[in-house]
Chains A and B, each alone.
Chain A
Amino acid sequence: EADIYQTPRYLVIGTGKKITLECSQTMGHDKMYWYQQDPGMELHLIHYSYGVNSTEKGDLSSESTVSRIRTEHFPLTLESARPSHTSQYLCASGRPGTGVEQFFGPGTRLTVL
C-alpha cells in the first residue's frame, strides 16, 4: 500500500464555497500530481509539481490552484466551487528512474450542489 494520503475522502458543499483538498506523501517523492476523473472516463492531469516551489498546469484546464511549500504536501484549492467541479480528484506521487510509476492516493469524491 502506497504511503500517500488524501483528505477528505468525500466532500459535499454548496456553490461558492472555498475548499482545499489535502494530499500528503511520506515517500520523499519529488514529483506530485493532481488528476480529475469522472465515472467511466480517463484520468486528466490538472496540476503537477517536480519539487518544492514548482507547480505547473496539466493538460486539462482547471480553475483550481495548487501549492508546494513542502516536499510531502501538495494541496489543491478551489476558491469558489461550482457544480461543474463535481468529480473525483486523485493525487499521485513518483520519483525519477521508476519508469514514471505513480503512486496514487485513495481520491477525494467532491460534490458541489
Chain B
Amino acid sequence: KNQVEQSPQSLIILEGKNCTLQCNYTVSPFSNLRWYKQDTGRGPVSLTIMTFSENTKSNGRYTATLDADTKQSSLHITASQLSDSASYICVVHYGNNRLAFGKGNQVVVIP
C-alpha cells in the first residue's frame, strides 16, 4: 500500500468550475506537505507547502488544506482554466529527511 494515496486518480472538469483533490498519508513523524503541479512532459513545480501548524494556505486560485491529526490534505482549484490541466502530486516530508510521493491527481480541464 502506497504511503501517500491521492484521489481521484483522474478528473475531467469544465473550464470555470471548481474541483478538490485529496491526499491521505500514513508516514510519520510529519514535517511538511507540498503540492506540486506537473505539466505534461515537464518536471513538477511546487505550488504550496503546509507545515504542521497550518490549516489552510492559498496561492492564487489554488488553496491547500491540512489536517495533521487525520493525516489528510486537499488542494482546491477555483475557477479552473485550461492551463490547470496537469498532474497534481502530493509529497510528504517525514522522518529524517525522507520524502513520500503520491501518484498524482490527473486533471483535465475542457472548454
A residues with CB within 8 A of B = 2, 4, 40-45, 90-92, 99-107, 109
Are A99 and B101 CB-contacts (below 8 A) given A42-B2, A105-B43?
Answer: no
Q: How far is the CB of B49 from chain A (nearest CB, A)?
A: 5
Q: Secondary structure at chain B's binding surface: helix, strand, loop or mixed? A: strand
A92's nearest neighbour on chain B, judged by CB, is B43
Please, which residues of chain A bring their CB within 8 A of the CB of B32? 99-100
Q: Secondary structure at chain A's binding surface: helix, strand, loop or mixed? A: loop
Contact residues on B (Cβ < 8 Å of other chain), bracket: 20 to 34
Please, which residues of chain A bring their CB within 8 A of the CB of B2? 42
Whether A104 contacts B101 by the Cβ 8 Å rule is no
Which residue in A41, A45, A91, A99 is a CB contact (below 8 Å) of B51? A99
Measured in the bound complex, the distance between the Cα atoms of B49 and A42 in whole Å is: 19
